[in-house]
Amino acid sequence: MKLTGALIIGANDVPATEGTMKALNPATHQLIEPAFALGGADQVDQAATLADEAFDSYSHTSLARRATFLDSIADNLDDVRQALAARAALETGLPAAQLEGEAAKAAAQFRQFAEVVRRGRFLQLAIDPAQPDRQPRPRMDHRLQKIAIGPVAVFGASNFPISYSVAGGDTASALAAGATVIVKAHNAHPGTSKIQARAIRKAVQDNGLPEGVFSMIRGGGNAIGEALVDHPLIKAVTFTGSEQGGMALYRRAQQRPEPIPVFTEMTSVNPTFILPEALAERGGQIGDGFVERMLVNVGQACLKPALLIAIEGAGFDALRTAMVKRVSEAAARPMLTPGIHAAYLDGLTAMENAGASRVAEGYAVNALLDGQSALLEVDGAIFLRETALAEEVFGPCALLVKVRDADEMLAVARSLRGQLSAAMHLEHSDLQLARRLLPVLERRTGRIVVNAFAHPQEVTFATVHGGPFPASSDSRFTSVGMTSIERFLRPVCYQGFPDALLPEALREGNLLQLPRSMEGAFVGAS
């Protein structure tokens, strides 16, 4: 598949206005052809204007037509899966087979959202009929549905170049909601982004939709992202990345003349708590499984289990020995970008300076951007004193926290900031302690896992990928799963409307057979 470096703004391939860049192969540290265009504020304005012009038409497409469009994107992604994975492997250093799986997941998400659209539950239709004879005054007919919030800006992530990128869940859920989308592609994988953008644009064209439904831009530095957040036609932003980057966008969006929501997924150490009986019975098994999941994607996953807390006692030595063994046998592998690699090394140093001891490390590095795995250990008292030990270190390392007793374990849990996930390993005799720990974790995370690890994560209706700050900027929403569509919707009430003027989903007779509530009672299709 021949790649060209142009930006995709609506139906047009737009050449560079602010210079060009090339992708870096992190395994070889060599630049990869071709050169990719960089744009600026003018290109943001072009894309935003097209997105706004397309919004009224696209947001009012029938549910059937919108679902067909999403299915078309999935089909197009399947058609380019091998080429997409091969290019992503060059740009990330990750295995092509793994990336084919990620491409399949991206296509599956579009199909899942197509089904969400067909079912129509996301509209949250509600009807309160008129009561003309009510005293002391009549009530008019009230009908509610959710509509798309407006054009959405999606910032592609660095660590999952497909399923959190141009064709990721943010794009899929926003398009499903009826929003038009502008993606700011991540510069770590420009070719991968271009292949995905072509697949989406082809679906826009094949389905006869307005060209502004989708655009993809790219720029050097922060200026293009700032211009995107600042643009008055953009009504919401999504971001996956560092706390520093996410909060910079969040603050900027709140300083606009018209503030807009920024849905960020930022930082998490995904703590795992091993309760005493589980530790005694299967400490070694848990330790081995923990490190196995920690090493996925060279530790560059938002759900990487990075913090393990266990009470010193029966099973602790087996846990520690298994973790040391698994880490020591881990090969060094390329990390995604020079910046991520440098931050990983700095993070390891910061943990050691805060009192953690390095008790194991993997095979030595062979290339400039290789990440060497590491296991660090610290006592609970030091962990509670040194807040730096609770910070995320993005890469193939973990921290084992040895606590004295259940009370210190609970103190460690209470000291943590918001998390994307938390896990407990327990046996029946651990239930009493688990009941004490559970409310502490509920206040600090959006997902709690028992006798498993937080990564991987299924994409379902019940999935939650979010949590209290700094895991995300708004713990009421998830960035993964079918309910992530709710980020891009707002309610509108239609009061006293004649039936012919109502949105089709709210008309008498419910010809679309959609689920609706009637004076608070659920009726209609499932």
Residue 175's domain is classified under what CATH number?
3.40.605.10
Is the pLDDT score of 302 beyond 50?
yes
pLDDT digits (tens, 9 = 90+) for 439-470: 999 999 999 999 999 878 889 999 999 999 99
Q: Are residues 79 and 172 in the same domain?
A: yes
Q: What's residue 96's pLDDT?
A: 95
Exactly one of 91, 100, 302, 377 is catalytic; which is it?
Answer: 302
Q: Are residues 31 and 47 in the same domain?
A: yes
Distance CA 403, CA 57 (A): 59
β-strand pairing of 125-128 with 30-37: unpaired
Q: What's residue 454's pLDDT?
A: 86
Q: Are residues 349 and 395 in the same domain?
A: yes
Is the pLDDT score of 40 beyond 60?
yes
Greatest CA separation for the chain: 82
Mean pLDDT across 208-222: 97
Residue 428, domain member (yes or no) = yes
Q: What's residue 523's pLDDT?
A: 83
Residue 227 tokens read as 């211009």
Q: Using omega within 30 degrees of 0 as the cis cutoff, is the peptide bond preceding 257 cis?
A: no
Q: Are residues 445 and 307 in the same domain?
A: yes
Q: What's residue 2's pLDDT?
A: 87
Residue 510, domain member (yes or no) = no
More confident residue, 404 or 457: 404
β-strand pairing of 489-495 with 370-371: unpaired
Is the pLDDT score of 515 beyond 50?
yes
Q: Which residue, 403, 434, 450, sits at the end of a domain?
A: 450
Exactly one of 265, 361, 392, 408 is catalytic; which is it?
Answer: 265
Among residues 457, 318, 455, which one has the least CA distance to residue 400?
318
Q: Are residues 256 and 284 in the same domain?
A: no
CATH number where 337 lies: 3.40.309.10
Mean pLDDT across 246-275: 97
Parent domain of 241: 10-266+474-487
Q: What's residue 525's pLDDT?
A: 60
SS3 content of the chain, % helix, strand, coil (to 5): 45, 20, 35
Residue 164, domain member (yes or no) = yes
Q: What's residue 254's pLDDT?
A: 97
Percent of the chain with pLDDT over 70: 99
pTM for the model stands at: 0.96
Instruction: Let me know if 493 is a catalytic residue.
Output: no
Q: Are residues 116 and 189 in the same domain?
A: yes
Q: Are residues 105 and 230 in the same domain?
A: yes
Mean pLDDT across 318-343: 97
Residue 509, domain member (yes or no) = no
Q: What's residue 526's pLDDT?
A: 46
Q: Taking a C-beta distance cutoff of 8 angstroms, is the pair 330, 295 a contact?
A: yes
Instruction: Let me know if 265 is a catalytic residue.
Output: yes
Among residues 207, 243, 257, 255, which one has the least CA distance to residue 471?
243
Q: Are residues 295 and 224 in the same domain?
A: no
Query: 432 CB contacts (<8 Å, ≥6 apart)?
Result: none
Q: Are residues 260 and 305 in the same domain?
A: no
Residue 497, domain member (yes or no) = no
Strand partners of residue 271? 307
Q: Are residues 260 and 275 in the same domain?
A: no
Percent of the chain with pLDDT over 90: 97
Print burial letters for 7-27: b (CB count within 10 Å at least 16), e (below 16). bbbbeeebebebeebbbbbbb
Residue 455, domain member (yes or no) = no
Mean pLDDT across 485-499: 98
Q: Are residues 202 and 66 in the same domain?
A: yes
Query: 17 CB contacts (<8 Å, ≥6 apart)?
Result: 37, 38, 39, 40, 42, 43
Mean pLDDT across 132-145: 96
Residue 520, domain member (yes or no) = no
Rounding to the nearest 10 degrees, give the CA dihedral for residues 14, 340, 421, 251: -60
Q: Give the chain's mean pLDDT.
A: 97
Q: Are residues 197 and 295 in the same domain?
A: no
Q: How many domains does the chain have?
A: 2
pLDDT digits (tens, 9 = 90+) for 88-114: 999 999 999 999 999 999 999 999 999
Q: What's residue 368's pLDDT?
A: 95
Query: 491 CB contacts (<8 Å, ≥6 apart)?
Result: 124, 144, 145, 146, 147
Distance CA 418, CA 40 (A): 35
Q: Taking a C-beta distance cutoff of 8 angstroms, is the pair 420, 465 a contact?
A: yes
Q: Is 523 helix (H, G, I), strand (E, B) or coil?
A: strand
In the structure, what pLDDT confidence band is assigned to residue 364 with cuts at 50, 70 and 90?
very high
pLDDT digits (tens, 9 = 90+) for 53-94: 999 999 999 999 999 999 999 999 999 999 999 999 999 999
Residue 474 tokens read as 């708004």
Residue 515, domain member (yes or no) = no
